Amino acid sequence: MVQKAERVASPRNQGGTRTGRPVGNVTRGTTNPNRMRRVDRWLTGPQAWRLRSAEDPLVVDLGYGASPATAVELFERLSALRADVRVVGIEIEPERVRQAKALERPGLSFQLGGFELPMPVRPVLVRAFNVLRQYEEVDVPAIWRLVQGRLAPGGLFIDGTCDEIGRRVTWVALDADRPLSLGLSMRFGAFELPSEIAERLPKALIHRNLPGERIHSYLQALDKAWLEAAPLASFGNRQRWTAMCRALRAGGWPVQDGPARWRLGELTVDWDAVAPEG
């Protein structure tokens, strides 16, 4: 049964105090090693400054699933940026937490919890992948607000979705106040048109890929620029993708970053350009 937004927004009993129950529902838990490599590459690239400048480098992998592999990988990747990073894997299903405990080490731990992030210190990064897609679209704003309210100053919440082995990935990045951007990353050779990413859009957008919606216009613009860059295919998909990104920027889309990121099959755009209508 899907948890409704009003229950997520107000996890309290009738007396006005927290019930102590984790906020959220048990997910299917499907995961695979190295599935999050593309978003982690973004976190350790353009967003690395957030961890480096954090007073307390606490990071949360929220809803890591049936296997803690992606939380372990996140810890290892972030440790290269800051040796004193602390990664906490949070899961709502007790047995998953019990099994993950065997992998704990200094700087990496696992605990029971949900969107309320049950810890005294506010995290600088929260990564929740393939978690919100199992809720209803109307639940998303309340879930976002709950997690945003727990972020440290300068913190970032990443709500993302990807396929089973991480070839097609999208994510919304939010700070404490608002959504900032939509990122996507695709493996070259694993798609014919960029719009194929539509089936992996975050929950806030996946049902909005319709004429009249900004995300639909964006995906159509991606396809158009990709097709127009076809003559560059003989030089490789990186050159073609980079040309697509340049064309989008020239066409008025608020594309972030530059060729160093684009060559990875990555593209980030301001959230306002793709936000749902209404």
Burial of 119-153, coded b for 16+ CB within 10 Å and e otherwise, reads beebbbbbbbbbbbbbbebebbebbbebbbebbbe
Structure confidence at residue 239 (pLDDT): 97
Which class for 164: exposed (0-12), middle (13-18), buried (19 or more C-beta within 10 A)?
A: exposed
Q: What is the pLDDT of residue 128?
A: 97
Three-state DSSP class for residue 134: helix
Report the alpha-carbon angle 202-116-169, nearest 5.
Answer: 20
Structure tokens at 93: 């299903």
Read out DSSP for 3-18?
A: PPHHHHH--B-TTSSB
- Number of helices (H), then strands (E), belonging to the chain: the values are 10, 8
CATH fold for the domain made of 5-177 = Rossmann fold (3.40.50)
209-266 per-position pLDDT tens digit: 999 999 999 999 999 999 999 999 999 999 999 999 999 999 999 999 999 999 999 9
Taking phi first (over 0 means left), then psi (-120 to 50 degrees means alpha), and beta for anything else, what does residue 107 get? Answer: left
Domain boundaries, the chain: 5-177
CB proximity list for 11: less than 8 A, separation 6 or greater:
18, 19, 21, 23, 116
Q: What is the pLDDT of residue 259?
A: 97
pTM for the full predicted model: 0.91
Query: What pLDDT, on the 0 to 100 scale, is given for residue 77?
Result: 98
Contact by Cβ (8 Å): 81, 51: yes
Q: Which residues of the chain have pLDDT under 70?
A: 1-20, 28-30
